[in-house]
Structure 1
Amino acid sequence: MQEIKTDLLVIGAGSGGLSVAAGAAQMGADVTLLERHKMGGDCLNYGCVPSKALIKSAKVAHEMRKAGAYGIAPVEPQVDYAAAKDHVQGVIAAIEPHDSQERFEGFGVRVIREHGRFVSENTVEAGDKRITARRIVIATGSTAFVPPIPGLDQVPYLTNETLWALRERPDHLIVIGGGPIGMEMAQAHRRLGSEMTVIEGAKALGKDDPELAAVALEKLRAEGIAIEEEAPAKAVRGSEGALEVEVEDGRVFKGSHILVAVGRKANTEGLDLEKAGIETTRTGVKVDAALKTTNKRVYAIGDAAGGMQFTHVAGYHAGVVVQSALFGLPAKAKTRHIPWVTYIDPEIAQVGLTEAQARKEYGPKLEVARFDYDGNDRAQAERQTDGIVKVMVAGGKPVGASILGHQAGEHINFWAFAIANGMKMKAVSNTVSPYPTYGELNKRVAGAYFSPKLFDSQAVKRVVRMVQRYLP
């Protein structure tokens, strides 16, 4: 067996693992990277990238149907589902070189395409290689969780990993799970011509701000998506092309395909973590604030760490680990400044505390500033007026922001920046946005925050009257 000694061993070539490997290697560390499957991980091959590409195809089809609002004759699009999937694969292919083995070997990373297993606290075996490392990073990501619904294992079903191989458009797609992945794929397939039913055991979009989620669900239902809430799946039966899902109250929903989208589970199986003294929890590898496992030589990042499951969180974790593992500096991962987006149309975006969370934490000290999209001239010009921006403010600083509306995922960047840097609402108010842009929404929210303090204040009015009395 070949013996390899390295400064840093990274297990998993997804977003987080690649970021750690590239950063560490370019700063002079000897880095070894293990990947048993595809470079780029779930995000590139089965998650963020392909889903957003298909959502774009669906949006184009939707805009063709709605063109009449802009003085253009609407048409029913001729959807070629297989061609839409070709578009998806083309996008993946365009990004693949950035995550390729060749690129990372160019950085000086030793890339080994094998599955790794711990054999001691600092040693991993992969194929015919035994790798001993000063520090190890577990970046194995997550995979679709398939719940133990009776009968599900007896019928064909899709997950986010197998959906992309489907070449024929589903006649009627049943989605089990009303979270972000389920709702994104439901809307995309509805716009591409499929009948759609979403079955959710609790509340659809249940992790989003309830006010914003209610508006979003109303829009989705208006597009023809049947959304059944408080309907836990009890049994699945049928055969290819003729499937049934029975829910707890006895109702039965029929469709041609089933997509399971009830959440994700960390990829920790087969790593033999116990041999390295690494403990796990229900959600993933157990880590402390510095992302260190119960074996202080080993870190876990991204989905494997069992926290927020977003690609950008894995990238953020990578920076924390590089600072700690390479330089020995204290570094802790935080969550208050982490944004996330549900890419339905209109989008829902969040950073920091939701209104409910902020009210619980700050009580009467909390102020909520809000501004509707229909007060924005660019939104009016483009007929994108369904939306709202809510900002939770405590002590003059934003502590959370919730946005529903066109390009909410872009607009949340502003508030993520403000919260991450401890900025005050006055700094937002001082910002000048070009007219007409959606970016003006942020300044108008700040205006909504300050207006009562200025225009409804008798003290301010007395000062103004006094000054006016003595001005020449």
Structure 2
Amino acid sequence: MNRIKTDICVIGAGSGGLSVAAGAVQMGARVVLIEGHKMGGDCLNYGCVPSKALIAAGKQAHQVFKGGFGVPPVQVTVDFAAAKDHVQSVIETIAPVDSQERFESLGCTVIRDYARFISPSEVQAGDTVITARRFVIATGSSPLVPPIPGLDSVPHYTNETIFDLRERPDHLLIIGGGPIGMEMAQAHRRLGCAVTVIEGDRAMGKDDPELAAIVLENLRGEGIEIAEGAKAEKISGSDGSITVETTNGTFTGTHLLIAVGRKVNLDKLDLTKGNVAHDRAITVGDTLRSTTNKRVFAVGDCAGGLQFTHVASYHAGIVVRSAVLGLWWSKATSRHIPWATYTDPELSQVGLTEAQAAEKFGDSLTTVRFPYAENDRAIAEGKTTGLIKVMVAGGRPVGVGIAGAHAGELIGMWAMAIANRQKMTAIANTVLPYPTLAEINKRAAGTYFTPKLFDSPKVKTIVRLVQKYLP
């Protein structure tokens, strides 16, 4: 049995784990990085990267089929396998950044095996026992496959297997109307598949209903069937003919994708032996430190809360400050965390939704809206479907939602404002190049000040006095 003593032992080489390992080792800490599956984790291999690559392929096909601006539409045959080649090429291009070779070159000891605790201060990975001053659990999450009767005997895909499918499905059934389900629905529809989304509650149910409706209307307009309030009760069939019986009808297709959520990867860790409290995730405080074993931290999905790659990276920064630099007062918050769904149009959010803000701030809340249809760049590019909503309390934005083209990019300005507790004047005073979609943000801020400037009797009185007596 080999034995290693180290400062930091990181379990999991996904986004959060890699960020911790890179930061810690480059600051001078001794780091052991353990990964039992693929370097880069879910994001690189099964999640953000391949999904956005497939979305890009679908967008290219859609533009050709749609035409516009004097360019006629073209009817072509989509090479579905070539689209999947593009997905694989993107993964392979990014992979070296997350590779074992790179992290060994930084000075990390990389062990390719699954880790499990054998005591509160030791983990074992293969034939190696690692004793560490600090452990960081960053094992991420996996697709949740619900116990629907019949599912275990019917062929189905998850986000971990759908990108390996190289033959175009004639009719893809998707159980789950959240971000993964809706992104995959549109991508496959644009690549020539019939698509039915089956959702037990409300599609895009975690998003602002007004903004989600904008996205869903467009998806339905592209021919995607979205069945809401349709809880799957029974699944039957075989390759090429699968039937899903629900509380709101029966649906038949050729292929089935399960996209109902995620479960945190904790099963292999033997957390009880490590004295690490947990339920569906590691039990941590706002410092991301285990409540029962002070040697242990958790980042990303393992820490509970929002399950996004950028949250894992954010958590990594908190843990590096705490476990490497000793800044124990570093704390994580979700107040300023943005997220986006990369449908077309996109939907993004940071801070509170309108409903959440109304509940918290009551009558002191002001909600302002500005439509894409009044932005000159959006008009020029035919991307006028969309809306921004800004929730303001005490002169500061407390939440922003955007449905429209490049919403995932536009939300960045508001994420910065909320993170730094800036007032609406910070956005209103910003000079932006014309014409850009980013002006939507500035116009929304201007809309907030409009009644204060132009509908105020006090302001009108002051202006009349100034004009009367101004030399």
2:466 is the alignment partner of 1:467: yes
Match in the other structure for 1:15: 15
Deviation of 1:263 (Å): 0.2
Match in the other structure for 2:371: 372
Match in the other structure for 2:36: 36
Deviation of 1:132 (Å): 0.3
Q: Output aligned runs, 1:248-397, within 5 Å.
A: 248-249=247-248, 251-282=249-280, 284-293=281-290, 294-329=292-327, 330-397=329-396
CA distance in 2, matches of 1:77, 1:328: 59
Structure 2 unmatched ranges of 5 or more: none
Match in the other structure for 2:220: 221
2:63 is the alignment partner of 1:66: no
3-state SS of paired residue (1:279) = coil
Residue identity in the other structure for 1:296: K
Residue identity in the other structure for 1:219: N
Q: Output aligned runs, 1:163-242, within 5 Å.
A: 163-242=162-241
Q: Deviations over 1:171-214 (max 9, x none)?
A: 00000000000000000000000001000000000001000111
Q: Deviations over 1:400-448 (max 9, x none)?
A: 1000000000000000011001110011111011100011111100110
CA distance in 1, matches of 2:128, 2:302: 24
Match in the other structure for 1:118: 117
CA distance in 2, matches of 1:42, 1:307: 17
CA distance in 2, matches of 1:113, 1:264: 24
CA distance in 2, matches of 1:3, 1:39: 23
Deviation of 1:461 (Å): 0.2
Deviation of 1:153 (Å): 0.4
Match in the other structure for 1:95: 94
Residue identity in the other structure for 1:291: L
3-state SS of paired residue (1:60) = helix
Match in the other structure for 2:448: 449
CA distance in 2, matches of 1:446, 1:300: 38
Match in the other structure for 2:51: 51
Residue identity in the other structure for 2:447: A
Asked if the contact 2:10–2:20 (Cα under 8 Å) also holds between the matched residues in 1, the reply is yes
Deviation of 1:305 (Å): 1.3
Match in the other structure for 1:154: 153
TM-score relative to the length of structure 2: 0.99
CA distance in 2, matches of 1:345, 1:18: 31
Deviation of 1:465 (Å): 0.3
3-state SS of paired residue (2:260) = coil
3-state SS of paired residue (1:398) = strand
Q: Deviations over 1:364-404 (max 9, x none)?
A: 00011111001100000000000011111000001110000
CA distance in 2, matches of 1:187, 1:302: 27
CA distance in 1, matches of 2:226, 2:437: 30
CA distance in 2, matches of 1:433, 1:252: 51
TM-score relative to the length of structure 1: 0.99
CA distance in 2, matches of 1:73, 1:280: 58
2:177 is the alignment partner of 1:144: no
Q: Deviations over 1:329-349 (max 9, x none)?
A: 121100010000001000000
Q: CA RMSD in A?
A: 0.7
Report the identity percentage.
64
CA distance in 2, matches of 1:320, 1:432: 33
Residue identity in the other structure for 1:273: L
CA distance in 2, matches of 1:212, 1:30: 47
Q: Deviations over 1:301-339 (max 9, x none)?
A: 101112100000000000000000012212110001000
Deviation of 1:215 (Å): 1.4
Residue identity in the other structure for 2:422: M
CA distance in 1, matches of 2:175, 2:89: 28
CA distance in 2, matches of 1:348, 1:471: 49
CA distance in 2, matches of 1:454, 1:248: 53
Deviation of 1:248 (Å): 2.2
Range with greater deviation from structure 2 (392-401 or 71-80): 71-80
Match in the other structure for 1:420: 419
Asked if the contact 2:369–2:387 (Cα under 8 Å) also holds between the matched residues in 1, the reply is yes
Q: Deviations over 1:15-62 (max 9, x none)?
A: 000000000000000000000011000000000000000000000111
Asked if the contact 2:229–2:247 (Cα under 8 Å) also holds between the matched residues in 1, the reply is no
CA distance in 2, matches of 1:214, 1:437: 25
Q: Deviations over 1:147-182 (max 9, x none)?
A: 000000001000000001101010000000000000
Equivalent pairs counted in the alignment come to 469
CA distance in 1, matches of 2:215, 2:37: 36
Range with greater deviation from structure 2 (57-66 or 45-54): 57-66
Asked if the contact 2:339–2:349 (Cα under 8 Å) also holds between the matched residues in 1, the reply is yes
3-state SS of paired residue (1:244) = strand
Asked if the contact 2:62–2:190 (Cα under 8 Å) also holds between the matched residues in 1, the reply is yes
Structure 1 unmatched ranges of 5 or more: none
CA distance in 1, matches of 2:419, 2:75: 45
Deviation of 1:5 (Å): 0.2
CA distance in 1, matches of 2:330, 2:270: 27
Deviation of 1:77 (Å): 2.9
Deviation of 1:66 (Å): 1.6
CA distance in 2, matches of 1:103, 1:151: 44
2:6 is the alignment partner of 1:6: yes
3-state SS of paired residue (1:170) = coil
CA distance in 2, matches of 1:270, 1:18: 20
CA distance in 1, matches of 2:285, 2:445: 36
